[in-house]
Structure 1
């Protein structure tokens, strides 16, 4: 007995946008079963991870802080993936954006002025874009797959952090800890609500998503990304250059990842430390697909994944769940989402092999 996938008619938008919701619900159900089977309170795990961050008002500010970098990076990745350009190295571009912003903060240490923080943000954007230009150059000039190059460059950026915070950028007053100086006051991202940890990066993330949605749906740039990704041969006849699209997709996604890095290092971290790589760049891949590669949907995806981050921290203290449980739930969510995508676009059909007599 054999089976094959047969393409369905083009699924409706309602079905496509319902799939992420179903994926989240299936993750809760299957997650509860799995953790119950291995000896944990499975229902309690789902409650603490998915519902406590929403019902506990004190956790809302944590959700905003966690969601902001995921949304910004996820928007950039959604643009690249629309163009069929697979940037897997957003984590490295996020790190390089943070390092570029740190460089400006250390150069201006002890100075004051409103211009310091904007300069750090510009440096972060440039750092992320420049790092993304390496896989863009290799793809367009040597036809090297950007998945491999962007991913491997992530590990280079992490090693660069380790070197800088242990040698040239090490805080002389840091009691031997591998970290930079704490940034000056004018190099820190301000909180938008006094007495909370909600910094200015949260509204910036929403603005980035709204601007990206407008650009992708109302501009030639957005049309170019979609056409080249969906039908490269037709795009070529329409006058769109595939190489130019690759450059634009990688530079934009790298720039937004660098922006997220600059906001994170000047906001929650307030200095560069070895723990700065937080896997936001990798997790944002799930965010982009949860959001259906739509910048507005990415806001939803970023909030959902932020809930699992905050809920995972709650579950560690309340029911003793391991920190790795957060990754398990996120991985299941991506699995169910991709499986749902296949099932709404294809049907499984049984193929009965013909006998020799039937063929004759």
Structure 2
């Protein structure tokens, strides 16, 4: 018999916020089973990926550094997705933000002054916004799907990184390695805690999340984003322009992705290298959905995904898991989260085909 999805009554807030925890638990169980079946110690893999980074205080600084770009990008994506604007190219905007920040750092190499780092930040945000403006233009002018344009632009940005580090920006003193020269002291983000790798980009990420939460919950901009995303007809009746909201959503998410990029290149990397594209932009999509598109929830969701990054590195050395292990767990987490959302909002109903057969037989019997 055929089946169909039938919409349930509006799920409770408790159910909506319990689903991510259920998805996380199912990810751990499924991951242990999958890696056990292919010959690894599945329980040890789950422990190394999800538990050890939290219980080892030495790894907390790694979690903070890896969570900060996920928070900034995830908050921007949460704003866009609230407006029903599907920016999938945050990775490309993150990369371009890092590139434009690098341009300022190289142009001011050898100079001193407190203005250099703010100039890099502004350039990074402007670069991310400019890259996000491309899908915004095609969406509002030609109704081109922003999912495709933003995603395809990501691959173009990766090739741009490869070009500049092997060509015009290549360090002449780098012994042939494809990388730029190390940034001068004024172009680096200093460490917040001496003796650790925790830099000042970490509190900036928290401030960004709190600021966006305040704007989304207490301003006309936030109300506009929510109304356009949830009820486009009501938004038009209220005088909110859909095209203007698309531009705003993409520029905000692109600008924040660019901010994350410049903080990364000026913080942990301190130069542009081919390995700068780290899939933070794609992982932040999972962060946004795991947080239920709530800016404060993004902080906690980013920590969860940062745990998989740090734990994945640990699992490679302790249990011999492949480097793709953390990506597999992240993909399973997204799958179970989306599946849980469907089951919370819909029920599967079996539809009897007998009435259809009776109607067809009656129609054939007619002269």
Q: Report the TM-score range of the alignment, normalised by the length of the smaller protein.
A: over 0.9
| 2:365 equivalent in structure 1 | none
The residue aligned with 1:158 is 158
In structure 2, do the counterparts of structure 1 residues 190 and 100 end up closer, same or farther at CA, with 3 Å as the change threshold? same
Tell me: CA distance 1:31–1:357, structure 2 relative to 1, closer, same or farther (3 Å): closer
Partner in structure 2 of residue 330 of structure 1: 330
1:110-164: CA deviation from partner (whole Å, max 9, x where unpaired): 0011111111001000000011001000111111111111011111111111111
Matched, 1:289 2:304: no
Q: Secondary structure at the match of 2:354?
A: coil
RMSD between superposed Cα atoms in Å:
1.0
d(CA) in 1 for partners of 2:281, 2:355:
53
**Residue 175 of structure 2 aligns with which residue?**
175
Aligned partner of 1:257 in structure 2 is 257
**Any idea what SS the aligned residue of 1:9 has?**
coil
2:353 alignment partner in structure 1: 353
Aligned counterparts of 1:49 and 1:162: Cα–Cα separation in 2? 31
User: Are 1:134 and 2:123 counterparts?
Assistant: no
Note if 1:5 corresponds to 2:2.
no
The CA distance in 2 between the partners of 1:149 and 1:357, in whole Å, is 45
Partner of 1:201: 201
- Could you tell me how far apart the structure 1 residues matched to 2:269 and 2:130 are? 23
Aligned to 1:98: 98
Q: Shift in Å at residue 355 of structure 1?
A: 4.4
Greater C-alpha radius of gyration: 2
Deviations 1:201-240 (A, max 9, x none): 1111111011111111111111111110111111000000
What corresponds to 2:38 in structure 1? Answer: 38
Asked if residue 238 in structure 1 is aligned to residue 232 in structure 2, the reply is no
Matched, 1:144 2:144: yes
Structure 1: how far apart are the matches of 2:357 and 2:9?
34
Secondary structure, counterpart of 1:6 in structure 2: strand
Match of 2:28 in 1: 28
Provide the rounded CA distance (Å) in 2 between the counterparts of 1:355 and 1:255: 56
User: Where does residue 125 of structure 2 map in the other structure?
Assistant: 125
Distance 1:306 1:164 in 2: 29
CA displacement 1:270-293 (0-9 Å, x = unmatched): 000111000100111000000100
Alpha carbons of structure 1 residues 358 and 305: separation in structure 2 relative to 1, 3 Å: same
Report the CA distance shift for 1:168/1:357 in structure 2 as closer, same or farther (over 3 A).
closer
State the shift of 1:354 in Å: 2.2
Q: Which runs of 5+ in 1 are unaligned?
A: none
Rounded to whole Å, the distance in 2 between the matches of 1:332 and 1:43 is 16
Q: Distance in 2 between matches of 1:135 and 1:180?
A: 29
Q: Could you say which residue in structure 2 is the equivalent of 1:269?
A: 269
The separation in 2 between residues aligned to 1:356 and 1:63, in whole angstroms, is: 58
In the other structure, the counterpart of 2:248 is 248
- SS of residue paired to 1:287: helix
Q: Quickly say closer, same or farther: Cα 1:224–1:316, change in 2 above 3 A.
A: same
Question: Shift of the alpha carbon at 1:182?
Answer: 0.1
Q: Distance in 2 between matches of 1:322 and 1:203?
A: 32
**Given the alignment of the two structures, is residue 212 of structure 1 paired with residue 184 of structure 2, yes or no?**
no
Q: Give the Cα–Cα distance (whole angstroms) in 2 for the partners of residues 356 and 148 of structure 1.
A: 40
SS of the equivalent of 1:196 reads: coil
Counterpart residue number, 1:278: 278
Matched, 1:184 2:184: yes
Structure 2 distance, partners of 1:356, 1:83, is 40
Tell me which residue corresponds to 2:305: 305
Q: Distance in 2 between matches of 1:12 and 1:215?
A: 25
Aligned mates of 1:18, 1:147 — CA distance in 2: 28
CA–CA distance in 2 between the matches of 1:311 and 1:120?
A: 32
- Counterpart position of 1:85: 85
In 2, distance between residues paired with 1:329 and 1:53? Answer: 15
